[in-house]
Structure 1
Amino acid sequence: MVTTSTGQVLHGNPYDADCPSRRILDRIGDRWTVLIIGVLGESDARFSELRRRIEGISQKMLTQTLRGLERDGLVRRTVYPEVPVRVEYALTDAGRTLLDPLRALQKWSMEHLSDVSASQEAYDRKG
């Protein structure tokens, strides 16, 4: 149960399609979010560095994902008044709480890569 700043009480149930917790799970379960959080967990980064380090992400997807993470309070965007303007992204305290769970998922995916790949190949041969 969560109480919003307006006093509204929210009960989390991600199995309910209209529950806000479902949107949070959608955000943190997104592959780009996982990778962005991973990079920012190492250090603050500029947009171009994030794009360089996360192979395959388009400029549009990086922009959309960063905006969503900022809106959700997981990433902080700081604009430095320099010429040219410098913008850096960093994890907020809330964003940092995602590091351990997301690292556990990354570790699991690497440890089970062979098993999953073998299962996929076996499944595809049956089809």
Structure 2
Amino acid sequence: MKTKFLSLKDRRSYHSLEDVVGCKWSAGVVAAIGRGIVRPGELERFLPGISTKILNERLRKLLAYGVISRTEHPGLPARVEYALTPSGQKLATILDQLRELNAEHESAATLPETP
């Protein structure tokens, strides 16, 4: 039997997911890390228009959600690198599929109609 409403548990789950990946920068950060852009400065240069503040906020959210991991390398200067977790790799795959779907939609929308 189908339920007639979305359960509170499901709503909270979707809300949490939207909070993490619903930001316009999250998909770009995940994609960049998936492509091997792993240092904060590199990420900032790879994503034109993102501010340091927003990048750090997104990195914290993605860390808290378990999408990425953070590794600190000792030394002077100290280095920080990010990597996708197994969940992050799944998310990156889904985001790639969504990007491909969007590209197909855009190309289909620009094709002239045939009589």
- TM above 0.5, yes or no, is yes
- What is residue 6 of structure 1 aligned with on the other side? none
**CA distance in structure 1 between the aligned counterparts of 2:17 and 2:40, rounded to whole angstroms:** 23
Q: Kindly state the Cα deviation for residue 44 of structure 1 after the two structures are TM-superposed.
A: 5.0
1:76 maps to which of 36, 45, 69: 69
* Matched residues, number: 103
Gaps of 5+ in 2: 1-6, 111-115
Query: Which 4+ runs in 1 deviate beyond 6 A?
Result: none
Q: Deviations over 1:75-111 (max 9, x none)?
A: 1111100110010011111111112210011122233
**CA distance in structure 1 between the aligned counterparts of 2:101 and 2:54, rounded to whole angstroms:** 25
**CA distance in structure 2 between the aligned counterparts of 1:24 and 1:45, rounded to whole angstroms:** 23
Q: Give the letter aligned to residue 21 of structure 1.
A: Y
- What's the RMSD between the two structures over aligned residues? 2.0
Gaps of 5+ in 1: 1-9, 117-127
- What is residue 13 of structure 1 aligned with on the other side? 10
Higher relative contact order (CA 8 A, sep 6+): 2
Q: Kindly state the Cα deviation for residue 31 of structure 1 after the two structures are TM-superposed.
A: 1.9
1:91-106 residue pairs with structure 2 within 5 A? 91-106=84-99
The percentage of aligned residue pairs carrying the same residue is 34
2:49 maps to which of 56, 67, 85: 56
Establish whether residue 22 from structure 1 lines up as the match of residue 37 from structure 2.
no
Secondary structure of the residue aligned to 2:25 is helix
**CA distance in structure 2 between the aligned counterparts of 1:26 and 1:70, rounded to whole angstroms:** 13
